[in-house]
Amino acid sequence: MEKGKIDPIALEILSHKIWQITDEMARVLERTSGSPVVYDVRDYMTAIYDTEGNAVMVGCGVVFHGAATVDAVKYIIETYKEDPGINDGDVFFANDPYISACHQPDVTIITPIFFGSEVVAWAASMCHIADTGGIDPGGFCTRACEVYQEGFRSPGIKIVENNKIKKDVWDTILNMVRDPGGVGLDLKAMIATGETAKSRIFEMIEQYGVDSFKLLCDEIINYSEKKLRGKISQLPDGTWRSMEFLDDGKKLLLSMTKKNDSLVFDFTGTDDQSINNRNSSLSATKGAVFGALAPLLCYDIPWSQGILNVMDTIVPEGTILNPKKPAALTEGPIGPAFLAHDAAVITISTMLNSSDEWKEEATASWNPSVSTQAFAALNQHNHFIVTIFMDIQGGGGGATPCSDGVDTGGMLWIPTTTMPNVETYELILPILYLFRRQTKDSGGPGKYRGGVGGEYAIVLHDSPSGEAVMPPYGCIGGEAAIGLGLSGGYPTLVKQYKLVTDSNISHLLKSWNIPEYVEDLNGDVSLLSQSDVWHLHNDQVFYQNWFGGGGYGDPLEREPKLVLKDVLNELVSEECAELIYGVIIDNKTKLINDEKTKSKRITIIKDRLNKQNKYTI
Amino acid sequence: MAQRISESLELVEQNGKSQIKCSKCKQVLCTAEENYKLSAVYAEFPLSKAGPKYFFRPSDKFILREYYCPSCGILFEVEMLPKGMQPVWNIEMVS
């Protein structure tokens, strides 16, 4: 690099160097934390910021937090620079959703990086800790009606000073949580990532100098903004809208307007805030939009402040996406914020689909939520453990204008996520999986099918207490279908939780019979409501399914041989093949009956045309 | 020359006006300043239309509304919304 200048090749190489630093921070976090939420699910984020707290590089963790943690770093800089001061060897803890966090369990650890006596950068990592000491275990606080019931919440507190953990602060935080061992390990893992960032940035500064490093940070941000504006300006101007719903009927409306090289995401028309914890913090809402924009339009652009500069977000105060204090918000990120993300995916994709050049970048909704439940119990090792079931990470991908969605492909907003291993959960929890598999008919039908989601069933096994508490979370996708399709594609399925009581499962397992369906068991099968806190006892079976992806295009345009392949692979039922796709498969030969298929599809079209209903306003 | 709007819709300049047409059968639907859904024919179904009944709770709160070309019957869009709610104007292109 020449002084005061960075040539394009150096910019490309060195921006990847900084990206590598965020990746190394992530590896440190995974290898140090003991939580499957971190090392399997990758529900974390790592990032580097400039001296003013602008994001220079957001890593491939939970993309939502790329936007939210900018607020955390800026708040620390503005609020605490004088008192208690910001010094070399300090580390800060922050988790207040009314300032920066998506919700209290998403804790950010923030490290100032000094070279000599000046701050040259900031590093931050975020991970979802197992508990915050709120009204319900697991951090999601189903019964909370105020933020004060949702556990420990700090706008920013110094947790390390002069390279030494502050014992009074440390003890206070861990004293308030149900799993101090697990939470303590997560905090130490995040502190370690800051040390990793420090040593790598020192190496860069020793090689290139402080001024060049700062110039590099500015140039990355400028480059991101310029590149994204360049892309956007190639797309047609217009307004695209999406409306989505919580299960209780509360509505979210997004109008995304693109004019020249600007994008405005306007949530005006969204319903008022909830009286329960089904509200998204403003940080989570902005993060949700960023979480759609980054993978869809910025897969070849550094994820930096430059992207946030292009993204203009209007979120009226007092709504489910920007509530007033003291509204509860722990379900925000996996409820209303997810709807905001899904709406942003749909509007951005509909815009991309309006361009012959860019249409193949469009996608229907990916697995649109992480609705699941915490699990708190004395485990088989007599240790009290709290964790979250994250099998739902293996959600279906949205279909595109040229391909089916990826079956159990993951989540759009955590590009690197994996499903936790069955063996991991069975090792740390007193449970046994009866099955875990892909779910037939869970991919939204279309010319291109949404990827399928999955399902599992568990029982307690070797449980010292014979009981587990399972607070559910996720206020979407249980009644209103989410995971919408595009251009005539259908949405994915609606999720279900079931409990079988008074079952004969112990008897079956003793005789080595594992049921294929929960309905094969003796006992009472009931659908569970997400408004309650669930309990699992011996001889009960718990079942959950999760979302696939939305479909693309009219299902009648799907090639019959692809429908047959789906049926033979048990991804689509013969019932759906006939009713939705209009494909008739011979029962005996399992081949397509071409004549009957042609006739069926003509009949469906005639039925459509016979409707003759037109909407008038 | 037609400008793509979606899989089955296009925007065409004709006689000095911008019109939205079905891209499959070229049926004229409306002008660019109007919501194409109001020119489509529609039908409403329970959510279970999208998949087997056992995946859906019995509920009449939400429905699927399908919009078709009035000429060739191609499915333009599927909406999920409460019964009785007006169509969302989901694509408003600048002509």
Confidence check: pLDDT of B95 > 90: no
Find the radius of gyration of the CA atoms of chain A.
25
Chain B's closest residue to A576, CA to CA, is B51
Q: What is the pLDDT of residue A376?
A: 92
**Are the beta carbons of A418 and A37 closer than 8 angstroms?**
no
**Are the beta carbons of A42 and A189 closer than 8 angstroms?**
no
Q: Rounded to the nearest 5°, which phi and psi values hold at A180?
A: -60, -30
A387 class by beta-carbon count within 10 Å (0-12 exposed, 13-18 middle, 19+ buried): buried
A17 class by beta-carbon count within 10 Å (0-12 exposed, 13-18 middle, 19+ buried): middle
- Nearest-angstrom CA–CA distance, A332 and A129: 16
Q: Does A365 touch chain B (CB under 8 A)?
A: no
Say if the Cβ atoms of A481 and B62 lie within 8 Å. Answer: yes
Q: What is the pLDDT of residues B12-26, one digit of tens each?
A: 998 888 999 999 999
Q: What are the b/e assignments for B41-75, b being 16+ CB within 10 Å?
A: bbbeeebbbbbeeebbeeeeebbbbbbbbbbebbb
Residues of chain A above pLDDT 70, percent = 99
- Nearest-angstrom CA–CA distance, A450 and A274: 31
- Nearest-angstrom CA–CA distance, A535 and A523: 17
pLDDT band at B58 (very low <50, low <70, confident <90, very high): low
- Nearest-angstrom CA–CA distance, A571 and A562: 11
Q: What is the pLDDT of residue A542?
A: 96
**Beta-carbon count within 10 A of A527 CB:** 11
Beta-bridge mates of residue A385: A377
**Are the beta carbons of A456 and A436 closer than 8 angstroms?**
yes
Facing B88 at nearest CB: one of A241, A249, A616 = A241
B 47-86: CB under 8 A from A:
47, 49-52, 55-57, 59, 61-62, 64, 66, 68, 70, 72-78, 80-82, 86
- HSE of A87 in the Cβ direction (CA atoms, 13 Å)? 12
**Beta-carbon count within 10 A of A198 CB:** 19
A264 class by beta-carbon count within 10 Å (0-12 exposed, 13-18 middle, 19+ buried): middle
- Nearest-angstrom CA–CA distance, A473 and A19: 33
Q: Give one DSSP letter per residue of A519-530, joined into a string.
A: GGSSSEEEEPPT
Say if the Cβ atoms of A555 and B51 lie within 8 Å. Answer: no
Q: What is the pLDDT of residues A313-367, one digit of tens each?
A: 999 999 999 999 999 998 888 889 999 999 999 999 999 999 999 999 999 999 8
- Nearest-angstrom CA–CA distance, A387 and A389: 7
Q: What is the pLDDT of residue B78?
A: 96
Q: What is the pLDDT of residue B55?
A: 59
Say if the Cβ atoms of B50 and A545 lie within 8 Å. Answer: no
ipTM of model = 0.96
Q: What is the pLDDT of residue A530?
A: 76
Mutation site, B7, B37, B42, B86, interface A, largest A CB count within 10 A: B7
B 14-33: CB under 8 A from A:
none
Say if the Cβ atoms of A611 and B68 lie within 8 Å. Answer: yes
Angle formed by the axes of helices A180-208 and A8-32, to 10°?
160
Mutation site, B80, B89, B94, B95, interface A, largest A CB count within 10 A: B80
A260 class by beta-carbon count within 10 Å (0-12 exposed, 13-18 middle, 19+ buried): exposed
Q: What is this structure's pTM?
A: 0.94
**Are the beta carbons of A397 and A345 closer than 8 angstroms?**
no
Q: Coil, strand or helix: which one is A246?
A: coil
Torsion of CA A528, A529, A533, A537, to 10 degrees: -10
Q: Coil, strand or helix: which one is A97?
A: coil
- HSE of B47 in the Cβ direction (CA atoms, 13 Å)? 27
**Are the beta carbons of A394 and A372 closer than 8 angstroms?**
no
Q: Does A35 touch chain B (CB under 8 A)?
A: no
- Nearest-angstrom CA–CA distance, B18 and B2: 10
Say if the Cβ atoms of A441 and B88 lie within 8 Å. Answer: no
Counting as low any pLDDT under 50, the low residues of chain A are none
